Amino acid sequence: MTYSIVAADPAAGELGVAVQSKFLAVGAIVPWAAADAGAVATQALADVTIGPRGLDLLRQGVDPAACVEQLLAGDMLREQRQFGLVAPEGRAASFTGSECFDHASSIVGDGFAAQGNILAARAVVEGLASGFGATAGQPLAERLLTALERAQDAGGDRRGMESAALLVVREGGGYGGNHDRMLDLRADDHPTPIAELRRLLSLHRLYFDRPDPADALPIDGVLHDELRTVLVRRGFDPDASWRDALFGYFGWENLEERWLDEHRLDPAVLAYIREHEGDR
């Protein structure tokens, strides 16, 4: 009851999984990824241990195709399993058991494995692959989400939609720079979970993407006066310390990752301020 894609972006050092299902909180079951190992999606009659066991094998340098048989060894329910794996350099493999409910199949390509079961048609898996391929050069999160959107446009899960998840890892890419969970977004119960992931991804970019100093706006003249009005209204004292007041606002609004300094402002922050402060 799920379709998913696992993928690698070797140039960026990123690995990820995207999944949608008519199943509550699919993000708690299907996606697994580690920057030093690879990414795994385990579904159909999901054996959740395939996630961590698959990562252990990939971490040891086992080829994804060889991982498949090792993960299924001794499994009496192997023909009801479905999973995909990808290594950091992009080698991938997928398995679909003969007893998975129709339509069930997979596509393995350069840097990805796409798979699904209880699908409207083969076109759903093809949509995963084409969505990923059509977005080459874009960030991995965008490519994975576009793959889900293309798959849903092709009919998706025959039973409908309920939850979706997007997981991307990169060494040191997590908040604070001391772990690899760069992005972990979930819509656990939603009528349009993929659209909800798209909304959450835009928020993630707002709060956690770093600004480009080349785009910075000088805080002077009219802009300085506009910001001062906002700071005073929100209870900060720009006359005592402009820097402390402005940074205090950034911290209150969880915008610290977009801080440059007290003399320059990220245009995305200005857009946020104008959207959220105009009606106060």
pLDDT at 42 over 60: yes
pLDDT band at 279 (very low <50, low <70, confident <90, very high): low
Beta bridge partners of 33: 39
pLDDT at 80 over 60: yes
Going from N- to C-terminal start, the domains of the chain cover 2-208, 213-277
pLDDT of 280 reads: 57
Confidence of residue 44 (pLDDT cuts 50, 70, 90): very high
Please, what is the average pLDDT of the chain? Answer: 97
HEC states along the chain? CEEEEEEEECCCCEEEEEEEECCCCHHHCCEEEECCCEEEEEEECCCCCHHHHHHHHHHCCCCHHHHHHHHHCCCCCHHHEEEEEECCCCCEEEEECCCCCCCCEEEEECCEEEEEECECCHHHHHHHHHHHHHCCCCCHHHHHHHHHHHHHHCCCECCCCCEEEEEEEECCCCCCCCCCEEEEEEECCCCCHHHHHHHHHHHHHHHHCCCCHHHCEECCHHHHHHHHHHHHHCCCCCCCCHHHHHHHHHHHCCCHHHCCECCEECHHHHHHHHHHHCCC
pLDDT, tens digit, 9 for 90 and up, residues 220-245: 999 999 999 999 999 999 999 999 99
The 10s digit of each residue's pLDDT in 98-123 is: 999 999 999 999 999 999 999 999 99
Amino acid 169: pLDDT: 98
Over residues 175-217, the pLDDT tens digits come to 889 999 999 999 999 999 999 999 999 999 999 999 999 999 9
pLDDT for position 1? 75
| pLDDT at residue 176, as a whole number | 86
Say yes or no: domain 2-208 is CATH 3.50.50.60: no
pLDDT tens-digit series, residues 129-169: 999 999 999 999 999 999 999 999 999 999 999 999 999 99
Q: Is the pTM of this model over 0.95?
A: no
Examine the pLDDT at 127 and tell me if it is beyond 60. yes
Give percent of the chain above pLDDT 90.
97
